[in-house]
Amino acid sequence: PMVSDRLPPGLDALLDHLDGVVFTGSAANLDPTLYGAEAVATKGHRDPGRDATNLPLMKRVMERKIPMFCICRGHQELNVIMGGTLHQQVHEVEGNQDHRADENKPYDVRYGAQHDITIQPGGVLEKVYGSAALVKVNTVHEQAIEKPGPGLRVEATADDGVIEAVSVEGLASFNISVQWHPEHHVALEEPLNARLFEAFGDAARARLSARRGKAAGSTRAA
């Protein structure tokens, strides 16, 4: 099936009241037919309800220039709606390390820093964090971007070449998309992850302020 542009009822009206949207991770994997692939056996299950909701919702968030933060499955969803493809089992690609979580370890260890990423110059991540060459992030995913969708800028890569972060080029609103999980309390001890949430919050507050100012101006004009 093609990625639908139709929003479930009520969601467009809800966006009237939102100044930032986070597209979270999930144990479920995207339906491979949405990016023109046949399914291979993976541990993750499917979630057609999320596919039908998040993909058109993400398109609408971008159209309305609402600040957006995509995480893990959200990162993969962004790539798919931009016309990209996914590795369904990234660890089986020759030369790649195993990016899956070690389920024998406690959550606080799994979501701690595991491997380096290289931040690419000139992008959102460099603006948010600076030009540090290497930063460590966690890794708890079996799927990853294969071909980036047109219009996506690669923001960071792992040392095996796996794309760890992207942004949408030319989008007027703040947006960043990461393959790792910055939201876990252990991950938030890493300065990069804390700065990502601060930057997203700043963008949401700025949009709220502008929206309120526009509404106040309209009221005075009336």
Q: How do residues 37-54 score in pLDDT, each as one tens digit? A: 988 866 678 999 999 999
Distance CA 208, CA 186 (A): 30
Catalytic residue among 91, 126, 146, 183: 183
What's the mean pLDDT in 163-182?
A: 97
Distance CA 35, CA 79 (A): 9
Catalytic residue among 70, 142, 181, 190: 181
70 is catalytic: no
pLDDT in tens, 27-40: 899 999 999 998 88
| DSSP letter assigned to residue 27 | S
What order do you get walking across the sheet with 175-178 strand by strand?
Answer: 21-23, 68-71, 175-178, 163-168, 152-158, 115-119, 134-137
Look at 41 and 186; give whichever has higher pLDDT: 186
155 is catalytic: no
CB 70 within 8 A of CB 176: yes
Note the pLDDT of residue 9: 84
183 is catalytic: yes
Distance CA 111, CA 101 (A): 8
Catalytic residue among 72, 77, 141, 164: 72
Distance CA 68, CA 55 (A): 13
Which tokens hold the place of 121? 């110059």
Note the pLDDT of residue 1: 57
Note the pLDDT of residue 62: 97
